[in-house]
Structure formats: C-alpha cells, structure tokens
Amino acid sequence: MARTARTTALFAGAAILALGALAPASADVISDWASIKPPPAPPLKEVTLDGKTTALLILDLQKPSCTLEKRARCVPTIGKVKALMDRARAAGAMVFYTFAGGSGGPSEIADPGLAPKDGEWVSQRGPDKFLGSDLEKRLKERGIKTVIVTGSSAQGVVIGTGSGAAQRGYKVIVPVDGMSSDDAYLEQYTAWHMYKGGPAIVIDETTLTRTDMIRF
C-alpha cells in the first residue's frame, strides 16, 4: 500500500511538471495583451416592463463632460435617453437623476430636453449612486422592482449603480445606446462586465438591450 501511494504521488508530480512545461512563458495578461481576442458580443434582448414598478436612472448626463469637446461618445446618447424618458414617464415610471461634481444641479444637464422635475434629482459623486444618497429609499417607497441604468461614464456609474441595484434585489436593464465613456473600449468593457464578467448576482439580474427594444 505504501509503495502504491508513493507511485501515485510520483505520477501526480510528473503530471504537474509536464503541465508547467507546456505553459507559455509569458503567462500574464499584459504580456499576452496583443494576442487576446475579444469574446463574441453579448446578445441584446427585447424587454417589456411595468411602468409602475420601473425606475429610469439618468446618471451624470451633464456638462461639461457630455459634450463633443469633452466626451463625444456621450452626445449621441442624449436623444436616445430622452426618447426613453418620455416613454417611461408616459408609462408612470419613476425617473431619477444624479449630477456629479458641481452644485449646479439641473442647470448642468447635457440638454434642456432631459431636464428633471423638482424632487427627481440629487447631487452625488462616485460610481455607485446608492452610496450617500436616498436612492434606495425612493425606490422602496415607489415599490420599484426594475431599474433601467443609463449614464456616463459607463465604467463608473453603469457598473457601480447597476451592480449596487442587482445586489439589492432589483432587476437591472442596461440599454447599451444609453451609456457612454471616453472611448468605445470602456463601453465594451462595461457591457461585458454586466453580461458575464461581474459577480454572479449581477450577471443573473442584468439584461442588455437598446433603448428602442424597451417596451412599457
């Protein structure tokens, strides 16, 4: 029995050494960066929501960041978010805005057509808008079950607030044409993180879509 155990251990050790010999010498992500291929794009899904239990979060779509000069990719999202906002309001959905940075509040909105109503906004820094605000309290008071997360920059507010919502038990809808960053890679990273790269609880509760694929 002792000899059998020693033999098994020797074979196991040899197998480990063999695997190590086959491993590439540059087995770290920076060394392999140029050779890594992105995975296939995540599928986008049609969604139908109950307006009364849905909240549309419009996060940091404000000047001076959401301008052609500062963040050109943000500007095309404005019309998409506005059209979604109009449909959400018509369906009785809750609308919630945040403004990062200065204290101008609604005066900083990226476009007058996106202007919030009184009581719909807070000034809040940071990527997770649940932290340091009454967002969770507002959602609970309205009986919200689903949040639509839009905003800029995506790798901050969409991941931060979307993950925070999923971890609090909300369904999370992310329209990819309603989020923006300084470059396309950061938006791609955000979409992949919410679809498959983040914690299981976030992945399970998140649906990627486009603004025109959302129905009420």
In tens, the pLDDT along 47-92 reads: 999 999 999 999 999 999 999 999 999 999 999 999 999 999 999 9
- Evaluate if residue 19 carries a pLDDT over 50: no
What is the mean pLDDT of the segment spanning 99-117? Answer: 88
88 within 8 A of 54, measured Cβ to Cβ: yes
Write out pLDDT tens, residues 26-42: 689 999 999 999 999 99
Residue with tokens 């971890």: 167
Q: What is the pairing mode between strands 146-152 and 179-180?
A: parallel
What is the mean pLDDT of the segment spanning 4-32? Answer: 56
What rounded mean pLDDT belongs to the chain? 90
